Amino acid sequence: MANQQRKSRERPKVERPTPETQDAAGPSERSVDPRNQLNDLTGAEWIQETKSFVFQKGLGAAHPHAQIEREHPAPFSYQDVQRLVLFFTKPGSTVLDPFGGVGSTAKACALSGRKSISIELSKKWHDLAIRRIRTEVNPRELTNHQFVRGDSTKILPTMKESTIDFVVTSPPYWSILGKKPDHKAGERVARDLATKYSDDPRDLGNIASYDAFMTQLVSLVSECGRVLAPKKYLALVVSDFRHGNRLFPFHADLTTRLAGVAAGKNHALALQGIKALLQNHKGLKPYGYPFSYVENIHHQYILIFQKQSTDSPRK
Ligand SMILES: C[S@@+](CC[C@H](N)C(=O)[O-])C[C@H]1O[C@@H](n2cnc3c(N)ncnc32)[C@H](O)[C@@H]1O
């Protein structure tokens, strides 16, 4: 009985409002509250999205619309991003992704009636992102999405302050893609797929020191905060990782370094949530077996910040 109960609790659940969440949602559970300036969700839908964990969703490797995504060594799922876009924006809003990759954010926006700006350094990923919208969504959608090829550290400072409604991105995780191929990278090598983003020295994934990488990433996120409109949100999808025999708690390091970081004039980024993105479908690898405990890291984190005023509150 106890086992049965545990099993049913562990199974990924279809996200439906429960009586408790409906109660918490109150009178607007089935409609969009007229005071809701953030999104178009009903009260019940809103409450569901406030859970501190979510199961990752993907199309599956064999799906025809997963083939461009598979070319990239570290894409995120456009379905996971779409969920964030639907929570943190209204239709017609503009979303920025400064590490655009193969355009997962752009695709999520294209399927949700939002506009997007993707900045990507590598020509290969930049071109594939455009092809992805053309072939997986609709060529007409390309007019709503800007694909800028270049270095975000140089392009973001040229963008106007407070013009973006939501920032969502996944940065390089330092230089881990450049390390000796592990099980996962080995499988990509065997299939002749890229295992790193580029050899470009401006690629944040090619910075040798962890500290220098973190400094550059924090300054880039601060720039994203500057272009974000006040009270709007910024979400970073990151994972902890191992390098050599050391485990780097990247999400914790980044959260600590970003706490209160400047976001333009008289504003700063304030941490609002740390959501675990559970990857329960991933196969387990025998890392460390049978000698030592080496974790299969099967979750990521979504770090959620809001741009808040630093002016002291009125007395
Ligand atoms: C984790 S991947 C993002 C993948 C993306 N979310 C997707 O689903 O395709 C990070 C991306 O950042 C890009 N990148 C690294 N340094 C950059 C820089 N300085 N400016 C712009 N893009 C950069 C890499 O080429 C890589 O495609």
Looking at the domain assignment, is residue 250 inside a domain?
A: yes
Establish whether residue 115 lines the binding site of ligand 1, counting it when its CB lies within 6 angstroms of any ligand atom. Answer: no
Looking at the domain assignment, is residue 18 inside a domain?
A: no
Q: Which among 22, 40, 23, 20 is positioned nearest to 32, based on CA atoms?
A: 40
* Host domain of residue 271: 52-309
* SS3 state at 51: coil
Mean per-residue pLDDT, 1-5: 38
Looking at the domain assignment, is residue 10 inside a domain?
A: no
Looking at the domain assignment, is residue 293 inside a domain?
A: yes
- Nearest C-alpha to atom 15 of ligand 1 is from which residue? 203
Report the 10 Å Cβ neighbour count for 47: 20
Tell me which of 59 and 6 has the higher pLDDT: 59
How much is the mean pLDDT over the chain?
Answer: 90
Looking at the structure of the chain, the number of domains it has is 1
Give, rounded to a whole angstrom, the gap between the first and last alpha carbons of the chain.
Answer: 57
Mean per-residue pLDDT, 136-155: 98
The predicted-structure confidence for 157-206, as pLDDT tens digits, reads as follows 999 999 999 999 999 999 887 766 666 667 767 778 888 999 999 999 99
Looking at the domain assignment, is residue 148 inside a domain?
A: yes
**Total-model pTM:** 0.90
Mean per-residue pLDDT, 286-294: 95
Residues 302, 84 contacting (CB under 8 angstroms): yes
Q: What is the DSSP letter of 38?
A: S
What CATH number is attached to the domain comprising 218? 3.40.50.150
Measure the CA–CA gap between 125 and 102, rounded to whole angstroms.
5
Looking at the domain assignment, is residue 38 inside a domain?
A: no
- Nearest C-alpha to atom 7 of ligand 1 is from which residue? 75
Looking at the domain assignment, is residue 27 inside a domain?
A: no
